[in-house]
Structure 1
């Protein structure tokens, strides 16, 4: 006869179930606490702002679709120790705890706070209440016409357009593009007084010579190790052979050493700041260091916390490079260069960030951060960076947005109308002096990305559609200022 089942296994089963429930609750609490601590969290993605990975000196550009963009302050594993050869910084290292303040951030309020130009000390305790009312959806469009069939081909380069206080990025992944002379005509006819070349392109540099258009020239990522190990002689030779041979040095206003180098191979990362020092010394020997400032454009994901802006802080993985870079920028009077795309912030957190708030639309409810009043997402991102620099002891460095834009296709929020609204809003703010609530008396230089659609660019679909113009020179989106 079969022996009756013992009650012991049933008891063990109930005990195991009870323990599993307790562990599940604890795990949920840990996850929630981590999310709250790190603030504005973005999932890993291959974003537009890593598409110009320094380029190739022969004119072609490389794209790195494996780049990880994340606001998780744990960072990427092998980057935090990759800059040991960089000059050391005297900044404080106690920044891993998220900054904070007694802040009530709301997208429901319509009352403007009092702006202030003071730079308060970073808060020390966290008590942030954040509330947003996002009533827009990803596919919302404005009433403006969404057209890439705007009339007119290449415009007359002899017209005397009003000079705009905004620059334009010229990538080289657009397939068949107009000739360098036509590109220059296009810039002049639309009053674009500054252009960013991601790599030095001899034909374009030669065509720009004598035009009065100021130039930011990029140093390809793959040249950084050579410029670091080769010393000042290598830097001097590269400057002469790649740039000064083709254009008057008076037209060169900035050198951008690499592009988003923290997304590159660790062997390159550790050589970034030494290469910057060598290039600066080469400029000094030529008497050009006062007119040509040198920096390195970073991706905005170097910020571990960016909302609210008063809580801005660098992600820990970036600090081994950011700290010596800040020291260099402070010593040489150069700006902190950063590529910022509110589009990416929106598509990765559409429930917390209103679309109209990203598009400079006046009907977007403002964000209040203490006594500061924010009307758009780009201001939030810039001031978060300013706060992060203050925490490292470098509050006097100015910020330059070296690439920003909005795609016209490839995502629900990427429409011609939204792209036009972003560019128009940005240009209007730039014409009034692109200042921020935290620095109301200091304009932020901005470069629009990109001049042309990048049809040959890989990655996500929207990465091909940031262009302001079609490849024949006609407007890709309806921008009143450009039509």
Structure 2
């Protein structure tokens, strides 16, 4: 079927009655968003990309550094923006005055007509990284500056699943011994400020790294019925492993927002257009279904699809450059 994952989203959501067809609001309820990376030399202009979000009713966008051209283009759109702090500026934000200036420049100046949802301080920072000691102080200073400006935007950080161990079955999961001293104070900050933890979840990489024990259907949401621990898909198991680890660290009610999830269409084992198409379609449907996960049933799952485009200049393995939902010419890949 020559429609994109987003057009499929419209089809899915029409059938379950959650579309918002109004001129003043995004087309769909803000549960699923798309990550917009710019590591490519063949991508549309930033204004064109924002126009794509608007015209296709995509209600949330994540960007990986403050980009005033993108922020300007979002004015009046009501698209919810999740914005990362650039990694090379995080250490400087441990100075409260620098943090206040940063918030004024990138948030307060646009807050009347840009909907800042979350500010992300650190993406997949591990406790042994040079940046690790600066994450919480920077989060604290940015949140203080936002609160002083009487804004409701929340500050968080995005982790990956390697900070969790003993993840099978999910109920046994804990943060690793190395991660606990790092993540514990951050979790306390999030609880105090009623902010969610962000987590990047990739069933694809879990499957590729353990094809002996993980079935492709389980990773793609296409398994029939549940397995011996009550799970129909790997995404839910990975998400619940984080919830279980949070329970054990004393934060049983903290919400987790899935800040990235996707499946590549080329460049590695199982990285096929058909598999990627199925994964995005099923993930969107699952997120909006309200079924939740076995540990957190009966609620939609806030999820960001990774990513808007293939990024031909993204570093790393070849597979990293093939997560796009759209082609650089703006046509749908699927």
Q: CA deviation at 1:188?
A: 2.0
Determine the C-alpha separation between the residues in 2 that align with 1:213 and 1:146. Answer: 22
CA distance in 1, matches of 2:243, 2:261: 17
CA separation of 1:457 and 1:473: change in aligned 2, threshold 3 A: same
After superposition, where does 1:54-73 map in structure 2 within 5 Å? none
Q: Distance in 2 between matches of 1:346 and 1:458?
A: 22
Which residue of structure 2 aligns with residue 236 of structure 1?
Answer: 100
Q: 2:192 aligns with which of 331, 338, 343?
A: 331
The structure-2 alpha-carbon separation of the partners of 1:433 and 1:190, relative to structure 1 and needing over 3 Å to count, comes to: farther
The whole-number CA distance in structure 2 between the counterparts of 1:264 and 1:434 is: 37
| Normalised TM-score (structure 2) | 0.89
1:405 aligned onto 2:266: no
Distance change (3 Å), C-alpha of 1:387 and 1:163: same
Counterpart CA distance in 2 for 1:418 and 1:368 is 24
What is the distance in 2 between the residues matched to 1:429 and 1:190? 20
Q: Structure 1: any 5+ residue segments left out of the alignment? A: 1-143, 149-157, 479-483
User: Considering only CA atoms, is the larger Rg found in Structure 1 or Structure 2?
Assistant: 1
Q: Does 1:455 align with 2:312?
A: yes
What SS is found at the alignment partner of 1:420?
A: helix
Counterpart pick for 1:171 among 22, 30, 37: 37
Q: For residue 342 of structure 1, what is the aligned residue in structure 2?
A: 203
TM-fit CA distance, 1:368? 3.2
Answer 1 or 2: higher relative contact order, Cα 8 Å, separation at least 6.
1
Match of 2:109 in 1: 245
1:216 to 67, 75, 82: 82
Separation in 1, partners of 2:305, 2:233: 17
Q: Considering only aligned residues, what root-mean-square deviation do their CA atoms show, in Å?
A: 2.4
Matched-pair contact (CA < 8 Å) for 1:434–1:445: no
1:283 aligns with 2:146: yes
Q: Distance in 2 between matches of 1:459 and 1:247?
A: 35
Residue 407 of structure 1 and its aligned partner are, at CA, apart by 0.2
**Equivalent residue for 1:180?**
46
**Residues 269-280 of structure 1 mapped to structure 2, 5 A cutoff:** 269-280=132-143
Give TM-score scaled by structure 1 length: 0.62
Residue deviations 1:103-136 (CA, integer Å, cap 9, x gap): xxxxxxxxxxxxxxxxxxxxxxxxxxxxxxxxxx
Deviation at 1:190, TM superposition (A): 2.2
**In structure 1, the residue corresponding to 2:207 is in which secondary structure?**
helix
Deviations, residues 272-293 of structure 1 (Å, cap 9, x unaligned): 11111111111111111xx211
Q: What is the deviation of 1:175?
A: 1.9
Aligned 1:299-310 pairs, distance under 5 A = 299-310=160-171
What CA deviation, in whole Å up to 9, does each residue of 1:255-280 have, x standing for no partner?
011211217732x2111111111111
The 8 Å contact of residues 200 and 218 in structure 1, kept in 2 or not, is answered as yes
* Stretches of 4+ aligned residues off by more than 4 angstroms: 144-148
Over 3 Å counting, the alpha-carbon distance change for 1:145 and 1:204 in structure 2 is closer
Deviation at 1:337, TM superposition (A): 0.6
Query: Which digits, 9 at most, give the CA deviation of each residue in 1:290-325, with x for residues without a partner?
Result: x21110001111112211111111111111211001
Mapped to 2, the partners of 1:264 and 1:466 lie a distance apart of 28
Matching of residues 426-441 of structure 1 within 5 Å = 426-433=283-290, 435-441=292-298
Query: Which has a greater percent of helix?
Result: 2
